[in-house]
């Protein structure tokens, strides 16, 4: 049992990881093919697996909400709306986009432009209100760090809005300096830290130390 549930998945992960690592070392031939071609094939597999994963997720969503509707659990009405919307939009999307039936193509765009777009834009626009409220409460010059953040925030805001430039031409210059120097330094530190972290995780996974992806913590 452990052979199929642990050893073979570990071997597949190890071999796949090694193939990708070796591919970056140089051109290596295996019989009539090269490692690079093998990697390209593996990358296409990723696309297929990812597309299937979306299908599995859709089926899972339907099962979960279908059961909720069937058993009349609390909030089943919302689940019904979700199922109807999902299946309905999937159908008109397929007929309009994949089969290019003009009526359904127009309907797909109409629904998206007039329902999804305004709803999405509303969600994002609300963030503006929250930002204003939280900036008002958080940006207080209580200590040195808070003051630096406050000054930097105001300079960047004035530097990015046309009105800032109308008030004083130096705001965009200061804003650009903040973006170019302190921001770049900080962001690079975060990026390099994250990259080292990702490399460590990859190494742990390839060598079989980290096995959480198999659903077991051993």
| Of the candidate residues 166, 200, 201, 207, the single one contacting another protein (CB under 8 A) | 166
| Of the candidate residues 26, 102, 162, 215, the single one contacting another protein (CB under 8 A) | 162
| Of the candidate residues 35, 92, 158, 206, the single one contacting another protein (CB under 8 A) | 158
- Which two structure tokens, joined as six digits, stand for 107? 């309907």
| Of the candidate residues 3, 25, 47, 209, the single one contacting another protein (CB under 8 A) | 47
Q: Are 113 and 107 in contact (CB under 8 A)?
A: no
| Of the candidate residues 11, 18, 21, 51, the single one contacting another protein (CB under 8 A) | 51
- Which two structure tokens, joined as six digits, stand for 126? 């609300």
- Which two structure tokens, joined as six digits, stand for 165? 């430039």
**Which one of 8-16, 26-34, 84-92, 177-185 is the stretch in contact with another protein (CB under 8 A)?**
177-185
User: What x-and-dash track marks residues 80-119 binding another protein by CB under 8 A?
Assistant: -----------------xxxx--------x--xx--xx-x
Query: What are the angstrom distances between the C-alpha of 41 and each of 8, 21, 48, 74?
Result: 21, 15, 11, 47
| Of the candidate residues 102, 142, 143, 218, the single one contacting another protein (CB under 8 A) | 142
Query: Is the CB of 141 or the CB of 203 nearer to another protein?
Result: 141
Q: Are 23 and 37 in contact (CB under 8 A)?
A: no
**Residue 20 host element (H or E):** helix 8-23
Distance of CA 57 to the CA centre of its chain: 16
Q: Closest separation between CB of residue 179 and another protein, Å? A: 5
Distance CA 194, CA 164 (A): 35
Distance CA 82, CA 73 (A): 15
Q: Are 123 and 112 in contact (CB under 8 A)?
A: no
- Which two structure tokens, joined as six digits, stand for 86? 């999902």
**Which one of 1-9, 26-34, 57-65, 124-132 is the stretch in contact with another protein (CB under 8 A)?**
124-132
Q: Are 161 and 155 in contact (CB under 8 A)?
A: no
Residue 206 interacting with another protein (CB under 8 A): no
Residue 43 interacting with another protein (CB under 8 A): yes
Contacts with another protein, residue ranges (CB under 8 A):
40, 43-44, 46-47, 49-51, 53-54, 97-100, 109, 112-113, 116-117, 119-121, 123-125, 128-129, 131-133, 135-137, 139-142, 150, 153-154, 157-158, 160-166, 172, 179-180, 183-184, 187-188, 191
């Amino acid at each position: 049992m452990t052979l199929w549930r642990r050893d073979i998945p570990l071997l597949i992960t190890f071999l796949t990881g090694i193939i990708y690592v070796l591919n970056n070392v140089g051109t290596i031939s295996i019989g009539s093919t090269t490692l690079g071609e093998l990697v390209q094939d593996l990358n296409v597999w990723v696309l297929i697996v990812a597309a299937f994963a979306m299908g599995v997720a859709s089926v899972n969503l339907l099962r979960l909400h279908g059961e909720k509707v069937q058993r009349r659990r609390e909030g089943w009405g919302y689940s019904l709306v979700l199922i109807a919307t999902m299946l309905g939009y999937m159908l008109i999307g397929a007929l309009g986009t994949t089969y290019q039936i003009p009526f359904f193509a127009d309907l797909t765009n109409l629904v998206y432009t007039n329902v999804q777009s305004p709803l999405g834009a509303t969600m994002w626009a609300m963030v503006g209100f929250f930002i204003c409220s939280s900036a008002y409460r958080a940006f207080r010059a209580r200590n040195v760090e808070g003051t630096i953040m406050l000054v930097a925030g105001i300079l960047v805001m004035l530097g990015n809005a046309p009105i800032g430039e109308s008030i004083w031409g130096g705001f965009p210059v200061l804003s650009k300096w903040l973006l170019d120097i302190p921001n770049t330094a900080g962001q690079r530190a975060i990026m390099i830290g994250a990259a080292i972290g990702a490399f460590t995780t990859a190494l742990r996974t390839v060598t079989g130390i980290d096995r959480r992806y198999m659903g077991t913590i051993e």
